[in-house]
Amino acid sequence: MDFIRDTVQTVGIPPSLREICTHFDFKSVKAASDHVAALRRKGLIVGKSHQARSLQIVSPLQDHKKPTRDVPIFGSIAAGLPEDQMQNAEGCLTADLDALGVKSGARLFALKVRGDSMIGRHICPGDLAVFEHGKNPRNGDVVAALIDGETTLKTYVQERGKKPHLKAENPKYSKLIPAAELVIQGVMVSLVRKGR
């Protein structure tokens, strides 16, 4: 279970049976399959038996029917002026996929919010924003974006006949129109706030 959890946290997807076999020096993939089957019988993991990389660890707090996912926290994101930011995993957040409204195969990541440009959407400094990578943004979605080489958290705006741009949800910040590129790194699917 620890190997499955660690692989999801570092790589973003569960290990294959062959990777489990290699990691534990099993002589055959069947040995890895038997160990995975034993974890399934104990109710510790779920996943389709004949679908690659579908393993998910079940939280002991749940009724063993709802899959959870450890979502890697990749540092922080500016909710203010865009800035150059390297992302390094700083831990993880265990999330109920049903509560997030995402499919089990969704590629998720979380970022800690810094700055006040999104307070109009009730996104405050210190919040953890959870994003789905690869999801196409719709007008009005909150996104983690790379705009002209710098990252930021803003509302995605697509107006008819115009290039998409990013909008702050605080009147003291102006909208951001890309000079060269706008890459959406993820669409926000959830927000987690710690009690103060």
Q: Which residues are identified as catalytic?
A: 117, 154
Of 109, 127, 107, 108, nearest to 117 by C-alpha is 127
d(CA 3, CA 15): 8
Instruction: Count the Cβ atoms, other than its own, within 10 Å of residue 173.
Output: 20
d(CA 130, CA 16): 25
Of 86, 77, 177, nearest to 118 by C-alpha is 77
Residue 92 near residue 71, CB atoms below 8 Å: yes
Of 84, 79, 82, nearest to 191 by C-alpha is 79
d(CA 21, CA 84): 40
d(CA 10, CA 22): 17
